[in-house]
Structure 1
Amino acid sequence: MTEAAAPAAAGPGRDRQGTVYRDGALGRRPAVPTAFGDLERAARRASSKRAWAYVAGGAGEGRTMRNNRRAFDRWAIVPRMAHGVTERDLSTTVVNTSLPSPLLLAPVGAGALMATDSDLAIARGAAATGVPYIFSNQGCNPMEDCAAAMGSASRWFQLYWSSDEELVDSLLHRAEAIGAEAVVVTLDTTMLGWRPKDLNLGSLPFARGEGIAQYTSDPRFHDIVRQRIDAVRGMVTERPDITLGAIRTLMSMTRNHPGKFLDNLRSPVPRAAAETFLDIYSNPGLSWEHLATLRDRTRLPIVLKGILHPDDARRAVDLGVDAVVVSNHGGRQIDGSIASLDALLEIRAAVGREPTLLLDSGIRSGADVFVALALGADAVLLGRPYMYGLAVAGQRGVEEVIRNVIAEFDLTMALTGARSIADIDERFVRPNPSF
Structure 2
Amino acid sequence: MSFGNHVQFKVYQQHEKNIIPVSYEELEAKAKEKLENKPYYYVAASAGAEITAKQNNKAFEKWQIVPRMLCDTSSRNLSIELFGRKYAYPVLLAPVGVQSIVHPEGELATARAAAAMDVPFIASTASTYSLEKIAGEMGQAPRWYQLYWSKDREIAASMVKRAEAAGYDAIVITLDTPMMAWREKDIENAYLPFLEAQGIGNYLEDPVFCSRLDKSPQEDLQAAIMLWARVFGNPTLTWEDLEFIKAQTSLPILLKGILHPEDARLAVEHGVDGIIVSNHGGRQVDGAIAAIEALPEIVDAVKGDIPILMDSGIRRGSDILKALAIGAKAVLVGRPYMYGLALAGEEGVKQVLRNLLADFDLTLALSGKRTVSELNRDLLKRV
TM-score, scaled to structure 1: 0.86
Once residues 186 and 98 of structure 1 are traced to their aligned partners in structure 2, the CA distance between those partners, rounded to angstroms, is: 24
Q: Give the CA deviation at 1:295.
A: 2.2
- Opposite residue 126 of structure 1, the aligned amino acid is A
RMSD: 1.3
Over residues 143-199 of structure 1, what are the superposed CA-to-partner deviations in whole Å (9 max), with x where a residue is unaligned?
A: 111101001100000001111111111101100111110000000000001100100
* 1:71 to partner: Cα distance: 1.1
The answer to whether the aligner puts 1:13 opposite 2:1 as a matched pair is no
| Structure 2 CA distance for aligned equivalents of residues 342 and 297 of structure 1 | 34
TM-aligned CA deviation for residue 99 of structure 1 = 1.1
- Measure how far apart 1:417 and its partner are: 1.2
One-letter amino acid of the counterpart of residue 8, structure 2: Q
> Which 4+ residue blocks in structure 1 deviate beyond 6 angstroms?
none
Q: Can you list the C-alpha shifts for 1:56-86, whole angstroms capped at 9, x where unaligned?
A: 0100000110111121011111111121222
Range moving further from structure 2, 36-45 or 54-63: 36-45
Q: What is the rounded CA distance, in whole Å, between the counterparts of 1:124 and 1:130 in structure 2?
A: 10
Q: Which residue of 1 aligns with 2:322?
A: 371
Pick from 44, 65, 74: which aligns with 1:77? 65
Aligned to 1:425: 376
Deviations 1:261-285 (A, max 9, x none): xxx5xx4x11011111010012111
Larger Rg: 1
Offset, 1:32: 1.1
Report deviation, 1:29.
3.7
Match of 2:343 in 1: 392
Match for residue 198 of structure 2?
210
TM-score (structure 2 length as normaliser): 0.98
Query: Could you say what secondary structure the match of 1:324 adopts?
Result: strand
Matches of 2:27 and 2:95 in 1, distance apart?
A: 20
Distance 1:98 1:294 in 2: 25
SS at match of 1:131: coil
**Alpha-carbon offset, residue 354 of structure 1:** 3.4
Which stretches in structure 2 are left out of the alignment for 5+ residues?
none
AA partner of residue 178 (structure 2): T
Please state whether the residue corresponding to 2:275 is helix, strand or coil. Answer: strand
Count of residue correspondences: 383
Distance 2:224 2:206 in 1: 11
CA contact (8 A) 1:103 1:381 kept: yes
| Distance in 2 (alpha carbons) for counterparts of 1:335 and 1:147 | 34
Give the secondary structure class of the aligned counterpart of 1:135: strand
* Aligned-partner residue type, residue 299 of structure 2: R
Which of 274, 291, 300 aligns to 1:323? It is 274
Determine the structure 2 residue equivalent to 1:149. Answer: 137
Measure how far apart 1:293 and its partner are. 2.1
Map 1:98-117 → 2, pairs under 5 A = 98-117=86-105
Question: Structure 2 residue aligned with 1:414, among 365, 368, 375?
Answer: 365
Percent sequence identity is: 44
When structure 1 is superposed on structure 2, of 108-117 and 288-297 the one drifting more is 288-297
**Which position in structure 1 is the counterpart of 2:225?**
274
**Alignment pair present for 1:357 and 2:357:** no
Gaps of 5+ in 1: 1-9, 231-256, 258-263
1:347 Cα deviation from its structure 2 partner: 0.7
Give SS of 2:301's match: helix
User: Following the alignment from structure 2 to structure 1, what is the Cα–Cα distance between the partners of residues 41 and 321?
Assistant: 29
* Structure 1 segment 101-140 matched on structure 2, within 5 A: 101-140=89-128
